[in-house]
Amino acid sequence: MSEKGLYKKIDPKIKQKISALLDNAYEQAALGTIDKNQWPLVTKVIPLIIKNNIYLLLSDLSEHTKNIVANPAVSLYFAASENHKSRSNNVRLTLQGTVTKLSLDKKGRSFKLLVEKQSTVDIGSDMWAYFDDFNFYEFHIKRQLYVEGFAKAYQELIE
């Protein structure tokens, strides 16, 4: 079966569900990168979402950030709460795209606003955000794959 036949198109109703999930309704989020040996690495992240823009506060010393520098193609995975007895039947969202480091002055207003918002989703981040090795990165979506449950998969490719 072709990829096109596997997924339904994301319609306005599904877009609303995706927005609701991203509006801090997920239980876990993970970042997938590829390491220098071409092995996948998945790590927990705490994304910041502002007006459909996704930001990540990452340490430049971390393995996943070093992977991003070498290959900015990544995936973000959001898992909703597991309400079904069949755990594979729970809502989840995978986003594929690229990540770019933002060049922000840590004394500037833009950086301070991001830190203020990040601290509402990750207590304590207002302290380590100012460490020299921590920076904000922006995620650019190229593909969305929303799985609502068994045989309920939707995708959208974004140019």
- Kindly report the CATH number assigned to the domain that includes residue 142: 2.30.110.10
Residue 110 counted as domain residue = yes
Bridge-based pairing of strands 26-34 and 73-80 is antiparallel
What percentage of the chain has pLDDT greater than the value 90? Answer: 81
Which pLDDT does position 89 carry in this prediction?
63
For 95, what's the count of Cα atoms within 13 Å in the CB-facing half-sphere? 22
Q: Is the pLDDT of residue 26 over 80?
A: yes
Within-domain flag for 44: yes
- The pLDDT tens digits of the residues spanning 68-90 come to 999 999 999 999 876 656 666 68
Q: Is residue 91 part of a domain?
A: yes
Q: What are phi and psi of 80, to 5 degrees?
A: -75, 170
Q: Which of 145, 125, 156 is nearest to 75 (CA)?
A: 145
Q: What is the mean pLDDT of residues 91-112?
A: 97
Domain residue limits at 113 = 3-148
153 domain-assigned:
no
Report how far residue 20's alpha carbon sits from residue 137's, in angstroms, rounded to the nearest whole number: 22
Which distant-in-sequence residues (6+ apart) come within 8 Å of 63 by Cβ? 35, 41, 43
13 belongs to a structural domain: yes
For strands 134-149 and 53-59, give the pairing.
Answer: antiparallel
Separation of alpha carbons 30 and 41, rounded Å: 10
Q: Is 21 among the domain residues?
A: yes
Give the length of the chain. 159
Name which of 87, 83, 84, 46 is nearest 64 in CA terms: 46
26 vs 83, more confident: 26
Q: How far apart are CA 49 and CA 41, in angstroms?
A: 22
Q: How many domains does the chain have?
A: 1
Q: Is the model's pLDDT at 24 over the cut of 60? A: yes
Closest C-alpha among 159, 138, 143, 109 to residue 51? 138
| The predicted structure's pLDDT at residue 116 | 97
The answer to whether position 40 is within a domain reads yes
* Average pLDDT rounded to a whole number, residues 6-31: 93
Whether 35 is in a domain gets the answer yes
The Cα 99–Cα 35 span in angstroms is 15
